[in-house]
Amino acid sequence: MRFSLGLFGLALAGPALCQRVDRAAQPVAPRAAPFKFPTIRAHRLPNGLRLLVVEDHSIPVVAVRAIVGADSTSDPPGKEGLYDVTLGALGEGSTTRSPDELAAAAAALGTAIVPTGFTTVSSAFVPALGLMSEMLTKPAFDSTSIERRKTAQLAAARRIAQAPVTIPRRLFYSLVYGANDPFVRSLIPTEATVASISRADVIAFYGRFFTPPTTTLAIAGDVTDSAALDAATRTFGGWQATSSPRDAEVKAVTARDTHIYLQDVPNAGTQAYLYVGAVGPSRTDSDAVATEAFAAVATARLQETLREKRSFIYSSTTGLTWRHAGAEGAFVGSANVSAQKADSALAEWLRILRELRTTRPPTAGELDAVRSARVGVLPSRIDGPDSIVTRLVEIARDRLPLDFFERYASRMSSVTLADLKLAAARHVDVAHLVIVVTGDARVLEPVLGAVKLAPVTVLPPQRGSAP
């Protein structure tokens, strides 16, 4: 009986075994599931503090961040560096504990805690949150700690001033947004502005911007929503607002005809920096995703031509600079080049941008690669509590909708070549670009003038500038 059944099975299998397999046919990958951000639960405490909670019980870890209602763009004119000094001074002792006592309490929990966040094991979440709340809501702001933070900020200001990229970056954004724009001013806190900061400045700045209604507490990890809400209420519920700051006015930016601004940096040697760009969309504009996709295609072509084929550049970046509160961003590329090749590099740069808008627009293959890369990386950006809470910080800081990343994935997955064309027409006009070149004008002015890409204005050396 067994023998007969075996022969019968072989007989049935025979035709299947004899079928030929087409090994040239490519297997069809299943359609990827739509990107799904973990559920965000939002609360508002009676004092106005906003709470965002994401449960992630994959590991016994909780990540907490506080996003306050200020950053370096909030610094008053002439007081650049005030935000960083204030933020640093928060950890320099509370009204009830000295800096050493705060450090000892954090060490006892085995957790590094700063006024704006920590990551710890689940069992230490509640006491760590209490310690963080004490730093953030009950700062001592004694004169010694403020002077210590000013010293640290002065050193940072010197490092920023000496970095070769500082001059071209600030010049570019000042030409795009205006020299008095808060974002532009925040790029270079000077020794003079930091030295002018007083204890009264710190206290006033804290009272204006560090308030419950302008603060978001983001919690992600191995804690339930109800437990997070209870802990936040107990530790932050007594914090009361002293003022209600208004949002800074967002000014529209006017495009200008393409122009080359050559910032002279004597003795810069053979190096030069290039910045090329213009005003871009805000992060919440309807064409922001399409502009980002176009920028990614431009990046690939610029790298392929300027670096791989022509060896014009040492390093470069191209993309969008986002600003919060609905302010216009910037489409910008930067590169470090040989001064002798600055003219050729710029000529190729503008040619590539022009062709992307006319004779060689983005291809379906290029767009597919961008969509795959941009959407495909999203799951890795929510891998664990620290990654998740970082995304919550983005949402709170840039005032984005809670479903922003799902909307982004959907829009990027469905963006079309026609969308890229429209976005490029609006934000990447080769006739209206700001071009900044920094380096030794004795070398650069003759070559930039000879190539006749655009009018050239030579700016004198900045006081204290360094190559």
| Cα dist from 244 to 39, 48, 116, 214, 270, whole Å | 30, 11, 20, 8, 51
Count other Cβ atoms within 10 Å, centred on residue 13: 10
- pLDDT confidence of 30, banded at 50, 70, 90? low
Distance, CA of 49 to CA of 86 (rounded, Å): 20
Query: Is 399 domain-assigned?
Result: yes
Give the up-direction half-sphere exposure of residue 379: CA atoms within 13 A in the CB hemisphere: 7
Query: Are 163 and 275 in the same domain?
Result: no
Query: Are 198 and 264 in the same domain?
Result: no
Query: Are 210 and 357 in the same domain?
Result: no
pLDDT of residue 309: 87
Answer whether 284's CB lies under 8 Å from 400's CB: yes
Which of these three, 236, 268, 284, is where a domain ends? 236
Contacts of 142 (CB under 8 A, 6+ apart): 92, 93
Answer whether 275's CB lies under 8 Å from 342's CB: no
What percentage of the chain has pLDDT greater than the value 90?
79
Answer whether 151's CB lies under 8 Å from 191's CB: no
Residue 219's nearest CA partner among 384, 388, 69, 379 is 388
Query: Is 465 domain-assigned?
Result: no
285: domain range? 259-459
Which of these three, 203, 236, 269, is where a domain ends? 236
Distance, CA of 144 to CA of 103 (rounded, Å): 17
Query: Are 194 and 304 in the same domain?
Result: no
In the three-class reduction of DSSP (H, G, I as helix; E, B as strand; rest coil), residue 32 is classed as coil
User: pLDDT for 282-341, tens place per residue?
Assistant: 999 999 999 999 999 999 999 999 888 888 887 788 899 998 767 899 999 999 999 989
What percentage of the chain has pLDDT greater than the value 70?
89
- pLDDT confidence of 20, banded at 50, 70, 90? low
Check residues 465 and 304 and name the one with the higher pLDDT. 304
User: pLDDT for 244-287, tens place per residue?
Assistant: 555 555 555 666 799 999 999 998 878 899 999 999 999 999 99
Q: Specify the CATH number for the domain of residue 376.
A: 3.30.830.10
Alpha helices in 78-215 (DSSP H): 82-90, 99-109, 125-137, 143-162, 166-177, 182-186, 191-195, 199-209
Query: Is 174 domain-assigned?
Result: yes
Query: Are 200 and 293 in the same domain?
Result: no
User: pLDDT for 155-212, tens place per residue?
Assistant: 999 999 889 899 999 999 999 999 999 999 999 899 999 999 999 999 999 999 999 9
Answer whether 69's CB lies under 8 Å from 211's CB: yes
With 0-12 / 13-18 / 19 or more C-beta atoms within 10 angstroms meaning exposed / middle / buried, residue 327 is buried
Distance, CA of 99 to CA of 208 (rounded, Å): 24
Alpha helices in 279-399 (DSSP H): 288-302, 342-357, 364-376, 385-397
Our count of domains for the chain comes to 2
Give the up-direction half-sphere exposure of residue 400: CA atoms within 13 A in the CB hemisphere: 23
pLDDT of residue 267: 81
Query: Are 168 and 284 in the same domain?
Result: no
- pLDDT confidence of 11, banded at 50, 70, 90? very low
Query: Are 131 and 70 in the same domain?
Result: yes
Query: Are 137 and 196 in the same domain?
Result: yes
Residue 51 φ/ψ, nearest 5 degrees: -125, 130
> Which amino acid type is present at position 283?
R
